Structure 1
Amino acid sequence: MGRGVVGISVLLGMCLVIGLVILSRPSSGETDTATVVRLTSADLAYARIDANRDAESPMAVRVGDSDVLVTTQLAVGDEQRIDALMADGGKASLEVAYVDPVSSIAVLVSGSDTARPGTALPSRAVDLGQEVIVLSETPLRLRVDSINGHVATLASNSPFDPAAVAEGAPVVDQVGQLVGICTHIGERLAIVMTGTISEVLADLFAND
């Protein structure tokens, strides 16, 4: 009986991974990010944010169940307040509390009395050649091309337009676990990894 349950669990896990790979093929425009998150990363909360950008509307990732969201300096620009539309339809007006000068991570909070997030982002490293999925408007499957400090650059064997990918979009691994958020470096896409984001949050809320 026990072996049967284990076998079924392994089979379901394999089906989930295969499904995620199929859903996130660069050539597939039929599946949206909400579907991928619902199938693989139900605890991942993200938002579209209203910022002055000519390209794809930027995104932010919510830290646990807190009122703290993280994105990038490129996403917020010079704005001091940002309107956010959560994936579940909720709306919020947020302050840009801090922009880290090294990683360019921008931290958005609901107000000056926002408490330290009760749950930290998990620190997950990526490896060269690893496949990841950028959860922009249409999920995009890419591979890690290089790693330099807190940033990993991304590449693909198939042509795609980096400008069409949302700044600040969540990036997950092949089983739907968050590994970082997307940023643009010149004409390339990159990931600012969760370990770096967690360090920025720890420093910002050190006195809470």
Structure 2
Amino acid sequence: MPNAILLIGVLVASIGIFSYIRDTVRGKVKPNRVTWLLWAIAPLIATAAAISDGVGWAVLPVFLSGFGPLLVFIFSFVNKDSYWKLGRLDYICGLFSVLALILWAITNEPVIAIVFAIVSDAVAALPTVIKAWKYPETENAGPFLSGLFTSSTAFTAISAFRISEIAFPIYLISINCVLIFSILRNRFRRQPKEALL
């Protein structure tokens, strides 16, 4: 049963990411390429590290959280108007994210690799979090809502609550919540009473 729930989570995540890819191709959203490329790399590294540490099905949402962004990055080149102009902060975050990945390569320890993958992913997320906060209309909450669901399903497949099994899913739940709030916060503000009359 846990694997069935996990597979449902993967299906939901796939729907969310494909809606984002569709909106990217149509120019409705403007993905930050630094974020989406590095969002692909860090989870794929965490996947490899988790597998090397014996993690089973629980790693599937982590893998998908890397493969989906790789597809978004690739499809962001289809429509020249569907990407966010990169600035200094994007490159600085990208540099620190890559540095965290290099540190992982040097350590060669699965748990440390996962920690560095989380740091890398979080630093890579910063430009998109800032963009979503300032310009929520340039984002689509779909993949983050589905990502939240999928990350939560990882806990149904965890065999032992070890750092290598729970760290990245906990991080993914947290970052998805931050992004969802950043994108949707203005939609839930109370309207003034005058506007309701």
Query: TM > 0.5 between the two?
Result: no
Q: Which has the higher helix share?
A: 2
Query: What's the TM-score once normalised by structure 2's chain length?
Result: 0.29
Q: Which has the higher strand share?
A: 1
Query: What's the TM-score once normalised by structure 1's chain length?
Result: 0.28
